[in-house]
């Protein structure tokens, strides 16, 4: 793929033009990535107040007892969105679902222990240990290039 950037002082807003002889899967993926809006704001609730949570500070998001929680900078926040809604809002380059009830930030992973048969043990920077469910092991291995 060839990339060309032109600087034009009369240009008021950036403009992207894709020139191709056919629309391929690669072109469709490129257009999707370019047109994605910036990650949306996250609001968490704790101690009776609402706080803005920066996505890069979140280590994990999980569902428990019918509620959804996020761990960010050592604090636990209650979220009012469901996991599938959060999955759409989170930066897909860093966040990955590891089970039906949990999403982790790959930037906050200390290591992956692959010794267990059928699952993967994940250790996060904050000391939390969690597990990839069997259903998501193949997806995680693909992401990790294993």
- Give the Å distances, CA to CA, from 107 to 7, 67, 112: 34, 24, 12
* This prediction's pTM: 0.72
At 45-73, the pLDDT tens digits run 999 999 999 999 999 999 999 999 999 99
- Rounded CA-CA distance 94/117 in Å is 25
The pLDDT, as a whole number, for residue 77 is 97
Q: What does CATH list as the number for 42-144? A: 2.40.50.1020
Mean local confidence (pLDDT), 95-115: 94
Using DSSP bridges, classify how beta strands 95-99 and 129-132 pair: parallel, antiparallel or unpaired.
unpaired
What integer best gives the mean pLDDT of the chain? 89
Domain boundaries, the chain: 42-144
């Amino acid at each position: 793929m060839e990339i060309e950037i032109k600087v034009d002082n009369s240009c008021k807003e950036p403009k992207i033009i894709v020139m191709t002889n056919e629309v391929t899967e690669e072109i469709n993926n490129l257009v999707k990535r370019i047109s994605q809006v910036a990650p949306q704001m996250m609001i968490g609730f704790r101690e009776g107040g609402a706080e803005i949570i920066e996505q890069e500070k979140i280590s994990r998001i999980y569902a428990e007892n019918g509620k959804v929680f996020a761990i960010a900078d050592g604090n636990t926040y209650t979220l009012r969105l469901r996991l599938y809604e959060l999955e759409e809002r989170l930066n897909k380059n860093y966040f990955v679902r590891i089970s039906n009830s949990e999403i982790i930030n790959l930037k906050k992973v200390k290591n992956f222990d692959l010794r267990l048969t059928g699952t993967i043990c994940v250790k996060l920077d904050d000391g939390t240990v969690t597990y990839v469910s069997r259903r998501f092991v193949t997806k995680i291995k693909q992401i990790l290039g294993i």
